[in-house]
Structures are given as structure tokens and as C-alpha cells.
Amino acid sequence: MAASKEQVLEYNDLNADKFPEPVETIKIDKYNLSAATIDMKDPVVALLVGLFTIHSLIRRSLRAVARQARNIEPTKRAGFLQYAKMTFETLDSHHHHEEEIFFPIMKPYVDFTESSHEHEEIERLLHQNLEFVRTAETHLKGGEGSPAWPGEEISSTTERLIEVLLPHLQKEETLSCLYGRRVPLAVLEDCNKKIENAVFEELKKQGMIWGTSYQLRHFNKKEKEIFPPMPALVRLGFEFFGWLGYGKVLQFGPTESELKN
């Protein structure tokens, strides 16, 4: 959906009584993230832009899974399944980061209680998909009595997950833009550092090249100018060795069109 057509929504400000004075709204267009459109010299913007990029990754990866699971060729199912499994695990990890780090730290300033409650339905659909992943793994092992490929189940459940998830992501983004400047800079920095540390620990378990190249696969050229925060040569190295080692998996990532939304 183009940014110009997206409905502008307002949400409950659960901290309104504590912050009677308005703050300047943060302007971040999630459909147009680049060094030219984002003021990375603004420390609050720089610390919040990661929320928008991980949301882009989640939107795009889920759409790629939903689009392909039904009709994936039998010879490509193993690679696709690795991609789908990483996609679902990334969303699951993101929710853990929010519940354990982001929401509690932000609560005195930006209260995401309603968003936290919405995680229940999202997690229900997500864990259905993780069950289908296990069925697919059994299918790939073959043998007598092995189950059929659950492509229809994965696609339909992921489509429903996207329907539930997109308004949820927009709510988090809107609340962050409306009230993010209430949050002291030191608090935002602490929050970012804790999330970065959690992600780094996950990358070590996944394998740095695989985990990082998976993330980079979901950002367009302009977005890579600002996220993740790494030198261009380092990023290019991760992308090169990622495609070298995991090209048969990364091929199932978003199309050029999907990278714009």
C-alpha cells in the first residue's frame, strides 16, 4: 500500500495524564527510508528507525512465504522451508524483544499495553505455522506414511497472519512517532543497546553470515544506506558470502516490487 493512500490513524495515549504538553511528531515514512529522507543526525530518529526497518523485514518476508508456499516445486522445498522457518523465528524473536525489552522500557513514556495484548492472536497464528514447518520437515524426510507438503496451510495461515499483523505494526509505528520524543535519549540508547545485544546473541547461534545476509535480503538499496549500521564494505561482504553460501535459500526472499512495500 502506498504511503499516500494509507489511512492516518490515532491511538489511545495511555500516558496522556502524565504528559499534558505536546511533543514534536517524528516524521518517518516507512515506504521511503533512505539517507535522503531520514534525518539520521536527529538522535531520536536514528534510535527509532530500527523499529521501522525490522517491521519492513517482517512484512516482506511473510508476504514472500505466503506467495510461494502453495506452489513451490518439490525440488525447491528444502530451501524454501529454511527460508520460511527463519521468517517465523524472526517474528517470534521480535515479539520477545518487544515484550522483554522495548515495551517495559518505553511504558513510562509510550504505553504499548494494547499492542502487547494483540500479540496473543499473532502468536497463535505464528505457532500454527511453526507446527506446519515441523510437518514440512517430516514430509521432506520421506518414507512410508510421511505427510503431504503443507503448502496450502502455510500460505493461508500466513495470509491471515499478515491481515492481523499489519494494523498492529502500524499502531506501534504511529505511537512511536507521536510520542517518541517524550523518551529521554539515555533511555532510548539503553533500549537500543539491549535489543542489539539480544540480536547479536541470536546471530551467533544462527551463524553470522546466514543471519545477517537473511536480514539484508529484505532491505532495498536506499534502506541499506541507513540500516543496519555497518560500513558499506562490511555489508557487501556479508551479502557476497551470504549469496555464496545460502543463495538457494535467499532466492525465496521478496521480489523487487515487494521490497518497495
Q: What is the pLDDT of residue 12?
A: 82
Position 115: which residue type? S
Residue 227 burial (10 A CB sphere; 0-12, 13-18, 19+):
buried
What single DSSP character describes residue 4?
G
Report whether 174 contacts 114 (CB < 8 A).
no
pLDDT digits (tens, 9 = 90+) for 222-261: 999 999 889 999 999 999 999 999 999 999 999 999 999 9
Residue 78: phi, psi to the nearest 5? -65, -45
Query: What structural domains and CATH numbers belong to the chain?
Result: 39-253+255-259 (1.20.120)
pLDDT digits (tens, 9 = 90+) for 127-137: 999 999 999 99
